[in-house]
Structure 1
Amino acid sequence: MEITSLIVGIVGAIASAYGAYLAINEAKKAKKSADKAEEMKNAIATEQNKISLGRLFNETKNCMRITIKLATSATPDKKTRGLNYQDSIGKIREFIDVLKENCHYLPEPKIKLVEKEYQNIETQLVGLAKENNQPKKYEIGDDIHKSMGEILKHIKPELDVKTFANKVYKT
């Protein structure tokens, strides 16, 4: 009986060792699958970020087309024909709302810089709405347009291939 229990013990130990070996291999496969899934999730998030920043860049460019009309014209003494300040101010405010919703796609230091610029624009818009002096309106329009340029300056590099590739392939 001792030999039988010894053989059963040895066979049991071998079976346990083999089971442990299989469990370790399956755990390694599961870890690889989990890493791959995490990598794919990050790639999708990065692509979504790129798409959102692209939209924000386009919105910024479109708004700059509006703000350039508010800036000093070639003939600053004359009011630009067809320029509706209230309509322009409304469109800029809509852009700022979009910017507020989406600036979280930027890196943290750039968010603070963009927030500073759009807060400056919001302040300038109040002055623009109240101002009746055309040269002063142009001056305010210049400031708004410069702030829009600063915002664009912070968004554009995030879409460049080199900047984007560095984020995707960081280890």
Structure 2
Amino acid sequence: MHVVPSAVPPANQAGLRWLAGFHRDRAACLDSWAAGGLAEIPLVHLAAVQVSATIGIRALRRLEPIGPVLHSVGRGTVEFFVAPTTMVVDRPGVRVLTQGSLLCPPPGRAVERRRAPVWLAPPDGVGRLMDIRRVLDAVAAQYAFFATLPPDYGAPAPCTAVGTWSTTAAVAFVAAGRRATGRTS
């Protein structure tokens, strides 16, 4: 039997077990976390909406986080964990990850590694995930905000995993959302 890392607060152990259940080798995942490391969580029964950290952190403020949200510090991104989806999101600066894996720390504990991912909202063990439409609406609101700023105001830091943010990208993101919903204003 593999132990749950002792440094994880008891309140987060259910989230840890839940997240480890998505790993191909649950025991290896728990061992990695017990050793103070990260574990790759495959995106097979999970998906993630990935945006730049600047947009994601601001969008999270508009949401009541009911599901896991990961900040991948090294990539400069935020990932909102959502149910598996076939939804195609054709908006600049947003990726829906449905394949591959995400490198995750144990819920409820930071990994002592430079630029390691951290949980902004850790899994709670109940299995709740973020609603993809609510996440996309919150992200759209942030891009709309940045699109209203004067060009010399400055842009959020670039996100190499999703693409560089720019005022043009913000305007394109808002326009894509309007086309997708049929709105004109």
What TM-score, normalized by structure 1, do the two folds share?
0.24
Bigger strand share = 2
Report which of the two structures shows the higher radius of gyration computed on alpha carbons.
1
Bigger helix share = 1
